Amino acid sequence: MAQIEKKAGLLRRTSSSKKPLKEKVVLMYDEIFAKEDPTKNNPRFWDELFLMKVNLEYLEGKLESLDGDEVMKIKDNINSLFHHCVQALGEEHQIKVVNALQTLCALFRGVHQKNKSATGFDIINMLMGFDKAELRMKELMESLDSLLCGDGSESLKSLCLKLLLCLVTVTDNISQNTILEYVMINSIFEAILRILSDVSSRAQHGYDAVVLLALLVNYRKYESVNPYIVKLSIVDDEPTLDGMGMVIHHALTEYNRQYKDKEEENQGGFFSTLSSMRNFTECLWFTCESQSHPEIEMATTPATPVPASPTTPLGTTPPSLDMMNNPELPLDPNLQTSNLLITFLKYSSIVMQDTKDEHRLNSARLCLIILTCIAEDQYADAFLHDDNMNFRVNLHRMPMRHRKKAADKSIPSRPLVCAVLDLMVEFIITHMMKEFPMDLYVRCVQIIHKLICYQKKCRIRMHYTWRELWSALINLLKFLLSNETILLAKHNIFQLALQVVNLFNMFITYGDTFLPTPSSYDELYYEIIRMHQVFENLYCMVLRVSTNAGQWKEPASKVTHALVNVRAIINHFNPKIESYAAVNHISQLSEDQVLEVVRSNYDTLTLKLQDGLDQFERYSEQPREAGFFKELVRSISLNVRKNVSLSTMSQDVLLKEFSSIS
């Protein structure tokens, strides 16, 4: 018997010179692409079509080969195919439902692929007929909603989500996807939330559900009222909020695990070789989109899904036994075993290490935007600073030649704000390079400032290693001075210098209200005096620039005025330290001796009260961040389109699952 080969719908006899035979489903597709009504010769055409295994490759290829004019010639048949696909979704015969879902995906992708320049209205007309579009999409969305909320097959639900992701991402810019107007009108928001709130559904479909919702909330959100944003902003259902957090937590945990595995293997090139890196942007970004819910960002979530009980307060599910020895547990034994914010901070410590290409730079930027939203939220700040909620957080540190690799040591349990500050300090000291990420540094210093403002406002005395922060900030100023010419060609370094100086002004002016002990305040003065040359050099530089005409005159002048108290401290204590050394015949004073001089001479120090040090501009996505998020959504859409392929869900598996259902 001649051997049979199958390719794109052709059955080819390899040992014969006869023309290849076509599958029956392919012949039926060809009838649809002819101008005649396919039911003219076969009244049962549509019933038979959806009983046959879909040939996605052939159908999409056929659609992609037709331009707009050619599609319009067979518009009635395409419209009829779309209509019968939607009708088939209501069939009891599950094989018909599977085939209809896959056919719809091929229709959406195929028509858009060839007609990218066509208007959204033309696409709608090609697919379903403009006069019937509202009805057809209402029927489609209602059917998908029923399938997602029903008790049917999980494979079928997965297929529905894949179709929706396919529909949402057929255009690079989702806001130009006019079909989504019907998805706004016929909302599936509740169906998505139902998936996220149900333990079983969330485990299988949570990631797709979160990505889908994240994309939908960004449809024309700057131009009109997006109903998905409105509904998301008022969600207060605990199982749903926990579910969102669990999905994000799982994705970030998996990324962190892969990084740690690579690190333990001592293999380099993690960032360039880990193909799944791009898949985590969706979850991260969705966290930012959900910033109005501190429950999502802050809620402690279990490593394995645990059914939520409405009578159980948020974050009080007992830890599982296999996680009891986890070094990153909160001290309170009633709290769940793993915290989403800890996972996010560890993730951030990984992606913020390497910012050399655009994708990694954007990932780090996104992490800092999320931390900015957290730092200015009063409920999140209360959680971060709660002295009764202590955690051990092992952040990843960038390998550097001048420091040894951190040994595995017991990290003390501290409020989470300490880990956030550690992350900011780590970023500051590890990214002073020629390709200076100015935007990230500005955000980093802003986060520190917002946290200190909260501490000052609430008079919270944090037991933190403030000297490490002060040292990092002074070294940053030193770097700006050393690279003035190179950096000024690209950046306004005076903006960053002003932020850093004003951080010191915050400590000088209000440090007695939030530094843990009087000796901490003494140590602040010691560091300023010890590194006085950096501040003096900065003053000389900004004075020079501010006295000359040029674009940097005004920003440099602001730094000049901001340095008044720092210079007052230096000019007040340095002569007294020199006098103390001369009187006691000491060539070089110890730290304790300098501190003794400082403590003895506070009374005669005169400082100026500076206004507005504890004020900051709150984060606003529009207009400043709108461009960044538009590009981010575009990038996510392209990645989802590339990765979401219905053919990857084996048709044979699906058909086998439903073959016994009629």
| pLDDT tens per residue across span 619-631 | 888 888 888 988 8
pLDDT of residue 599: 93
* CA distances (Å), origin 322, targets 15, 152, 199, 318: 61, 33, 20, 12
Q: State in Å, rounded, how far the first CA of the chain is from the last one.
A: 34
Q: What is the pLDDT of residues 246-274, one digit of tens each?
A: 888 888 888 888 888 887 676 555 554 44
Rounded to 5 degrees, what angle do the CA atoms 482, 485, 486 make?
90
Q: What are φ and ψ of residue 579, in 5° steps? A: -65, -45
> How many C-beta atoms lie closer than 10 Å to residue 7's C-beta?
10
pLDDT of residue 307: 27
Mean pLDDT, residues 21-46 taken together: 88
The answer to whether the beta carbons of residues 208 and 167 sit under 8 Å apart is: no
Confidence of residue 506 (pLDDT cuts 50, 70, 90): very high
Mean pLDDT, residues 29-33 taken together: 90
- β-partners of residue 4 are 13
Confidence of residue 114 (pLDDT cuts 50, 70, 90): confident
The answer to whether the beta carbons of residues 628 and 370 sit under 8 Å apart is: no
Q: What is the pLDDT of residues 440-460, one digit of tens each?
A: 999 999 999 999 999 999 999
**What is the value of pTM for the model shown?**
0.84
The answer to whether the beta carbons of residues 637 and 168 sit under 8 Å apart is: yes
Candidate from 203-217, 218-232, 253-267, 343-357 with smallest mean pLDDT: 253-267
Does residue 112 or residue 166 have the better pLDDT? 166
Mean pLDDT, residues 79-89 taken together: 94
3-state SS class at 510: helix
- Rounded Cα distance between 148 and 192, Å, is 8
Mean pLDDT, residues 190-207 taken together: 91
**Is the pLDDT assigned to residue 340 strictly greater than 90?**
no
Which residues, other chains included, contact 538 with Cβ-Cβ below 8 Å and sequence gap of 6+? 477, 480, 481, 497, 501, 559, 563
pLDDT of residue 643: 79
- DSSP H or E run through 642: helix 626-643
* CA distances (Å), origin 633, targets 101, 211, 213, 214, 321: 25, 11, 12, 9, 40
Mean pLDDT, residues 302-311 taken together: 29
- β-partners of residue 338 are 301
- Rounded Cα distance between 595 and 98, Å, is 77
Dihedral angle computed from the Cα positions of residues 306, 308, 312 and 318, in that order, rounded to the nearest 10 degrees: 0
The 3-state DSSP composition of the chain as helix, strand, coil percent (nearest 5) reads 65, 5, 35
pLDDT of residue 308: 30
Does residue 314 or residue 407 have the better pLDDT? 407
Mean pLDDT, residues 217-223 taken together: 90
pLDDT of residue 151: 86
Mean pLDDT, residues 93-116 taken together: 87
Residue type, 208: D
The average confidence (pLDDT) of the chain is 83
Which residues, other chains included, contact 157 with Cβ-Cβ below 8 Å and sequence gap of 6+? 147, 148, 195, 201, 204, 205
pLDDT of residue 282: 52
- Rounded Cα distance between 318 and 332, Å, is 10
Candidate from 6-15, 90-99, 321-330 with smallest mean pLDDT: 321-330
Token pair in block for residue 66: 């037709």
Mean pLDDT, residues 159-184 taken together: 93
pLDDT of residue 262: 80
The candidate with the shortest Cα–Cα distance to 247, out of 368, 335, 161, is 161
- Rounded Cα distance between 648 and 67, Å, is 27
Confidence of residue 313 (pLDDT cuts 50, 70, 90): very low
Candidate from 100-114, 293-307, 470-484 with smallest mean pLDDT: 293-307
* Backbone dihedral region for residue 661 (phi beyond 0: left; psi -120 to 50: alpha; all else: beta): beta
What are the residue ranges of helices labelled H in 119-188?
120-128, 133-149, 154-168, 180-185
Which residues, other chains included, contact 236 with Cβ-Cβ below 8 Å and sequence gap of 6+? none
DSSP state at residue 174: G
* CA distances (Å), origin 457, targets 88, 118, 330, 506, 509: 62, 56, 26, 12, 13
**Is the pLDDT assigned to residue 318 strictly greater than 80?**
no
pLDDT of residue 227: 93
Residue type, 376: E
Mean pLDDT, residues 496-507 taken together: 97
- Rounded Cα distance between 558 and 495, Å, is 9
Residues above pLDDT 70, as percent of the chain: 81
What are the residue ranges of helices labelled H in 515-618?
518-530, 532-546, 553-562, 564-583, 591-600
pLDDT of residue 658: 66
- DSSP H or E run through 626: helix 626-643
Q: What are φ and ψ of residue 372, in 5° steps? A: -65, -45
- Rounded Cα distance between 335 and 312, Å, is 12
**Cis preceding linkage at 623, omega within 30:** yes
Mean pLDDT, residues 595-613 taken together: 92
Residues above pLDDT 90, as percent of the chain: 50
**Is the pLDDT assigned to residue 84 strictly greater than 50?**
yes
Candidate from 114-118, 260-264, 540-544 with smallest mean pLDDT: 114-118
Token pair in block for residue 403: 């420091």
- Rounded Cα distance between 131 and 242, Å, is 42
Q: Using only C-alpha atoms, what is the Rg of the chain?
A: 31
